[in-house]
Every structure is written in structure tokens, then in C-alpha cells.
Structure 1
Amino acid sequence: MKKVILGLMVLVGAASCQEQQKIAFIDNGEVINDYQMKIDTEGKFKTQNDIFSKRRDSIAMVYQMEMQSIQQRISKLSPQKQQQESQAFSQKWQPVQQQMQMQQQQMEQMFNVEMDSVISKMNAFVEDYGKKNGYTFILGKNQAGSVVYGIESSDITEVVTTAINEAYKAGDTDTKEEVKSEE
């Protein structure tokens, strides 16, 4: 009986000596959506997309006008000549259409690469923030439900969002340099 009591006392003593783990969570979507670097990246690509759209629309207007003109002209021709003229028109515009598609795909690829970089920088920042502020875990809350519930005092979304934007404004593009400790 004494051995059981002694064993329980050792277990209770060992358990009380364990370091308290510091755990928090962030709303990933909220942090990334409020991250100024993401906002700036989206703005840059919106501008590029607007320019591309205007150019594409101008080319489409020229195409439509030329198509109407050719349709009027070839309506008086024989069916064989109509087919030849239609094929010539299609061949003329096919490289233009391919070029426009290629440019749009390149823009989408560049956007995706930059957004992946933004997300990587956010993740690196949160990791560094956690290390510098003594967190054992910083969990990510998202629509998939990785954190279904957490007490409000463990939600550091706003603090992390403010810190990452301050680092970005300070020109810390790596976002790993100076991370302010919580107060």
C-alpha cells in the first residue's frame, strides 16, 4: 500500500513539473486575406488583367468587323469560294487567338506562383512568430475544420495579422527577420 501511495505521489509530482504548453490558433483565411502582401499582389495582377482585357476586347472588335465584312463579300461567291475565303479568314486569326490564350495562361501561372509565395511567406512568418513567442503549437483554423472550437483568448489571428503587415510595411519581404514578441 505504501508503494502504491509513493508511486502516485511520484506521478503527481512528475506531472506537476511538466512545462505548460502554449497553444494558440489563427484563422488562416482571415490572416491571408488581410495580409497586405496578398492585397498588393492581387492589385498588381488586377491591373495587368484589366490591360489584357482591354487589348483582347479591341482585337475582338476588329475580328467582328472584319468577319462581318467578309460575310457580306463572300455571300455573293460560289460555295467553293466561300469555303476558301472562310478558311483563309480562320487561318489568319488562329495565331492571334492562340497568342491571346497563351498570354492569359502565362498571367494565370505567374499569379499562382506569386500567391504560392505569399502563402509560404505567411506560413514562415507564423512559424517564426510561434518560436519567438514561446508557442508549442499554432493551429490553423479554416473551413475544413482543423480547429472547430477554441477559446477566444487562444485566437491570435488579429495579433499575427498586425505583426505580419507591420513586417511587410517595414520592407521585410522575407517576413522572418524581426518578429515582435507579444506584450
Structure 2
Amino acid sequence: MKKSLILLGAALAMISCDKGTSSSAGLKTAYIDTVELMENYEELKDWESKGKVKKEEMERELQEEARKLELDAASFQNEMQSKGRQWAELKYQELQKRQRDLGIKQETMMMQLQEEFGVKRDTILSQMKRHIKEYGKKEGYDYIYGTGDAASILYGKEEYEITDVILKDLNKNYKGEATTTETPEAKEEDTTAAK
């Protein structure tokens, strides 16, 4: 009798298990690979690409000024003997000031880049979090976890992963396409039908 009750309980537990639901608590859960999300979200990639281009432009400008300063310093070394001590002292002070100004300009440019692109990156990340939250509410999830560099999950069954769905939605929204939220079940049906 006890064995049949245990078997009946186990059978009921197995039957009640839903693919998108945690069997122990009856909660609908999923997880997202945050590293993949960050690497493949097109708006974030576009913005980081723009930041890289602007950084390279600023670095070229700074390198050109540094090169001119080096040439002037080399010229100073050659002319120092022939133009006299007073000229050498004034020229040396000028070169030092230019070097300090160049360092200040570099710091200012880096701060400008960090401010401009850091704020926009934070805004994009906030939009992603908001989208995930809305998606979770819409699809009836109790929890959506994140994996990746700052992992809060060390293991998860692949059928609970919704990274592709979220990434697809985010990229559609960024491109201005109509969003059709695809559930993980529909995703699996698509892959099963494709086989």
C-alpha cells in the first residue's frame, strides 16, 4: 500500500511537471545568458562601435600633437647650444607646458568619451532590463535568472533558456520592426519542425 501511494505520488509529480515550470515549487522560470545578450544586442554593438571610432579619432589627434612635441623637443636639443641659455630656458618651459597641456587634453578627452558613451550604455542596459521584466510579466514567468560573468545560476536546463527570444525581441525593437514575442515552447516547436 505504501509503495503504491509513493508511486502514485511520484507519477502525479511527474505528470504535473511543466517544461517551463520548476517542478518543486510550481514556478515558471527561465534564464538568460547575459554575456551572449550583451555580445549580440545590435543597438549595444552599434553604440560600442561608434565609441571605438570616436576613441580612435581622438587618439590620432593626440598622437599627432605628441609627434609634433617630440619633433620640437628634438629640434630644441639641436638648437640649444647655438641660441644661448636664455632661449633654451624659455623654450624648455614652453615644451614642458605643451607636454602638461597634452596630458590634460588626453584626460579630458577620455572623460568626455566615458561620460558620453557610458551614459548611453547605461541607458541601453536599463532598456534591456525593462524589456526582460515586461517579457517576464507578459509570459507569466515567476523568475528570469541571468547567467554569464556575474552568474546567479551555475546550471540550468537548456529548455529554460530564453536568451534567443529576448535577443530577437530586443533587436527587432531596435530595428523598429514589429515585436512578436516568441515563447520558448514555440521556439522548441520551430526547431522540432525544422528537423
State the TM bucket, normalised to the shorter chain.
0.7 to 0.9
The TM-score normalised by the length of structure 2 is: 0.73
Matched residue, 1:141: 147
2-structure distance, mates of 1:44, 1:92: 30
1:111 aligns with 2:117: yes
Deviation at residue 134 of structure 1 after TM alignment? 0.9
Matched residue, 1:100: 106
Matched residue, 2:79: 73
**1:132/1:179 contact within 8 Å kept:** no
Deviation at residue 31 of structure 1 after TM alignment? 0.8
Matched residue, 2:181: 180
Deviation at residue 154 of structure 1 after TM alignment? 0.4
The TM-score normalised by the length of structure 1 is: 0.77
**1:32/1:122 contact within 8 Å kept:** no
Deviation at residue 83 of structure 1 after TM alignment? 3.8
Matched residue, 1:124: 130
Alignment of 1:154-169 (within 5 A): 154-169=160-175
Contiguous gaps of at least 5 residues in structure 1: 1-15, 173-177
2-structure distance, mates of 1:104, 1:143: 26
Local SS of the residue matching 1:49:
helix
In structure 1, what residue type is equivalent to 2:159?
S
In structure 1, what residue type is equivalent to 2:76?
I
Q: How many residues align?
A: 161
Distance 1:179 1:101, change over 3 A: same
Give the percent of matched residue pairs that are identical in Structure 1 and Structure 2.
25
Structure with the greater relative contact order (CA < 8 A, sep ≥ 6): 1 or 2? 1
1:22 aligns with 2:23: no
